[in-house]
Amino acid sequence: MIRIFLAIFVGAWGAQLAHPDAALHLPGPPWNWLVALAPMLSGLLLGALRPDAPIAKALGSGALAIAALLAVAATCWPIAVFPVGMTAPSWLRGIGLSDPLSSLPFATALLAVIVNLAVSLARRLRLGPDRLRFAVLHAGLLIAIVGGAAGHGGLVKARFILTEGAAPGDAVQAEDGRRVRLPMALVLDDFVLERFAPMLVLAEGERLTRGETLLGPQATDRFGDLSISVRTYLPSAAVVGGRPVPFRDPGANPAAEVTVRDGTGREVGSGWLHPPGPVGAALFLALPGERTLHLEAPRPKRFLAKVRADGVAHEITVNRPLRADGWAIYLLSYDEALGPASRTAVFEAVEDRALPAVYVGIVLLLLGVLGHLWKPVMAGGKP
């Protein structure tokens, strides 16, 4: 059986290499459940009705389980190395793994895992000792995997942009081009970006060195033999006539008046620093030795979107999506050119009706693990 599986797996990978852009997608609901459940139910029936048959023993063997799991690891490792949001290198396409979860070798390996789990679970229930803990553990793993496979077919994703002051809307375009409707009409009331305090940057030709201190009133920092002290700090400023002035605006950047001294304590420069922004040009300080001192634009710390869903106010952050009727609305990004002054936000709506099945499987899996830890059984059946 191992040889047969390896031959099928290698053949599937070869087909993927011959057609690197080929992608295997399950149909939408309810057919995704039919396709995902078919191998599981077939394995359960085989293991339950013919537990002593050679084919049942081979399909439910530990050797096939190890081979199938190694095959899964061999095909889906790019997901761990290049997670979602990171651009994967082009050479992954050359080995057939540009889209690992939709590749033919991954589907083959996952099918073997599902069949192996189903057959071994049914055979153990019929013939094996310590049935309850084994059943709970393996049933949880099987349900989680099948639920995840079904969810891959029934998953709906749609990215959309909301603008402050725009009319409510619930129609978005999914990744496959379909127009879908969200369970609520959304309005963006306000986008809020919280930022860290700025840091100094010393430029020496092409080399840039960032300071170690978040600037504020009376802050100090060092760059080698140079010491920098802040004389005046404006947390929100605009540049007027080449000089920063206090200005309260979401797009305003901070400004700092600094004094720079060398290792002997001699002053080598002083003046205002301001990063470029919507309400002010960049101000920097020229220093001896063809060096310049700049104020870095504050880096984002946290951003959120204040929205109304069917008239009800909500706050959406990166790690706190808005959930309603099987949908999750995630906040992805904003207009980075405007920063805190951004009046638009990018969202992603995700519908995954199979997710509850995955959660049930994970709960059963944890219960099975706890059962084995509570009363472990050694090889040979000895407690």
> What is the rounded average pLDDT of the residues 272-277?
93
Let me know whether 136 and 10 are in one domain. Answer: yes
| Tens digits of residue pLDDT in 99-109 | 888 889 999 99
The distance from CA 127 to its chain's CA centroid, rounded to whole angstroms, is: 43
User: Which secondary-structure segment (H or E) carries 160?
Assistant: strand 156-163
Let me know whether 232 and 362 are in one domain. Answer: no
Q: Where are the beta strands (DSSP E) in the chain?
A: 156-163, 169-173, 179-195, 200-204, 207-210, 220-223, 226-240, 243-246, 253-261, 267-273, 285-287, 291-295, 300-309, 312-317, 322-324, 327-334, 344-351
| Tens digits of residue pLDDT in 62-116 | 899 999 999 999 998 888 787 654 566 778 888 888 888 888 999 999 999 999 9
Which range (19-33, 195-209, 339-353) has the least confidence? 19-33
Three-state DSSP at 49 gives helix
> What is the rounded average pLDDT of the residues 223-234?
93
Choose one of 270, 298, 326: the last residue of a domain. 298
Q: What is the pLDDT of residue 129?
A: 60
Q: What is the pLDDT of residue 337?
A: 81
Q: Residue 140: inside a domain, yes or no?
A: yes
Write phi, then psi, for 122 (nearest 5 degrees): -65, -40
Q: How far apart are CA 172 and CA 176, in angstroms?
A: 12
In terms of Cα–Cα distance, which of 117, 109, 107 is closest to 42? Answer: 117
Q: What percent of the chain has pLDDT over 90?
A: 49
Let me know whether 218 and 275 are in one domain. Answer: yes
| Tens digits of residue pLDDT in 35-64 | 889 999 999 999 989 988 999 999 999 899
Q: How far apart are CA 282 and CA 299, in angstroms?
A: 16
The CATH number of residue 328's host domain is 2.60.98
The CA-based angle 145-148-153, given to 5 degrees, is: 135
Number of separate domains in the chain: 3
pLDDT band at 379 (very low <50, low <70, confident <90, very high): very low
Q: Residue 69: inside a domain, yes or no?
A: yes
**Predicted model pTM:** 0.67
Q: What is the pLDDT of residue 128?
A: 59
Which pair of tokens denotes residue 62?
């530990």
Q: Residue 42: inside a domain, yes or no?
A: yes
Does the pLDDT at position 226 exceed 80? yes
The mean predicted confidence, pLDDT, of the chain is: 87
Let me know whether 57 and 147 are in one domain. Answer: yes
List Cβ neighbours of 319 (8 Å cut-off, separation of 6 or more): none
User: Bigger pLDDT: 188 or 174?
Assistant: 188
Q: How far apart are CA 339 and CA 216, in angstroms?
A: 20
Pairing mode, strands 220-223 and 207-210: unpaired
| Tens digits of residue pLDDT in 276-315 | 988 889 999 999 989 999 999 899 989 999 999 998 999 9
List Cβ neighbours of 371 (8 Å cut-off, separation of 6 or more): 132, 133, 136, 137
Q: Are 220 and 228 in contact (CB under 8 A)?
A: yes
User: Which secondary-structure segment (H or E) carries 207?
Assistant: strand 207-210
User: Bigger pLDDT: 325 or 262?
Assistant: 262
Sheet of 169-173: strand order equals: 169-173, 179-195, 300-309, 312-317
Q: Residue 288: inside a domain, yes or no?
A: yes
Does the pLDDT at position 380 exceed 80? no
Let me know whether 226 and 323 are in one domain. Answer: no
Let me know whether 128 and 255 are in one domain. Answer: no
Does the pLDDT at position 376 exceed 70? no
- Domain hosting residue 314, numbered range: 158-193+301-351
Q: Residue 107: inside a domain, yes or no?
A: yes
Which pair of tokens denotes residue 6?
């390896």
Q: How far apart are CA 271 and CA 372, in angstroms?
A: 68
Choose one of 298, 322, 337: the last residue of a domain. 298
Let me know whether 237 and 272 are in one domain. Answer: yes
Q: Residue 80: inside a domain, yes or no?
A: yes
Q: How far apart are CA 170 and CA 256, in angstroms?
A: 45
Q: How far apart are CA 361 and CA 141, in angstroms?
A: 6
> What is the rounded average pLDDT of the residues 312-324?
91
Let me know whether 174 and 315 are in one domain. Answer: yes
Q: What is the pLDDT of residue 11?
A: 93
Q: What percent of the chain has pLDDT over 70?
A: 95
In terms of Cα–Cα distance, which of 61, 83, 75 is closest to 12? Answer: 75
Q: Residue 39: inside a domain, yes or no?
A: yes
Let me know whether 120 and 228 are in one domain. Answer: no
User: Bigger pLDDT: 178 or 153?
Assistant: 178
Let me know whether 211 and 308 are in one domain. Answer: no
Let me know whether 306 and 363 are in one domain. Answer: no
Q: Residue 252: inside a domain, yes or no?
A: yes
172-200 burial, b at 16+ Cβ within 10 Å, e below that, comes to: beeeeeeebebebebbbeebbbebebbbb
Let me know whether 172 and 311 are in one domain. Answer: yes
Q: Are 154 and 352 in contact (CB under 8 A)?
A: yes
Write phi, then psi, for 377 (nearest 5 degrees): -120, 125
Q: What is the pLDDT of residue 269?
A: 93
pLDDT band at 377 (very low <50, low <70, confident <90, very high): low
